[in-house]
Amino acid sequence: MFKKGAKLYSILTGSCPKCHQESMYSNKNPYHLTEVLHINEHCSHCNTKYRIEPSFFYGAMYVSYAVGIAFAVAAFVISHFFLEASIHFIFISIVGTLVVFAPIIMRLSRNIWINIFMHYDKNLSEK
CB of 127 to Zn ion, least distance (A): 9
Round to whole Å and give the CA distance between 18 and 47.
Answer: 10
Chain positions contacting Zn ion, by CB under 5 A: 16, 18-19, 43, 45-46, 48
Q: How far is the CB of 20 from Zn ion (least distance, A)?
A: 7
Rg (CA), the chain: 17
Cβ of residue 80: shortest distance to Zn ion, in angstroms? 42
In the complex with Zn ion, the residue whose CB is nearer, 18 or 110, is: 18
By beta-carbon proximity to Zn ion, the closer residue of 46 and 75 is 46
In this complex, which beta carbon is closest to Zn ion, that of residue 102 or of residue 125?
A: 125
Of 121, 116, 75, the C-alpha closest to 95 is 75
DSSP-assigned states of every residue in 101-121? THHHHHHHHHHHHHHHH----
Smallest distance, Zn ion to C-beta of residue 41, A: 12
Output DSSP code: residue 46: T
CB-nearer residue toward Zn ion: 16 or 63: 16
Contacts of 66 by beta carbon, 8 Å cutoff, 6+ apart: none
The tally of CA atoms less than 13 A away on the side-chain side of residue 49 is 5
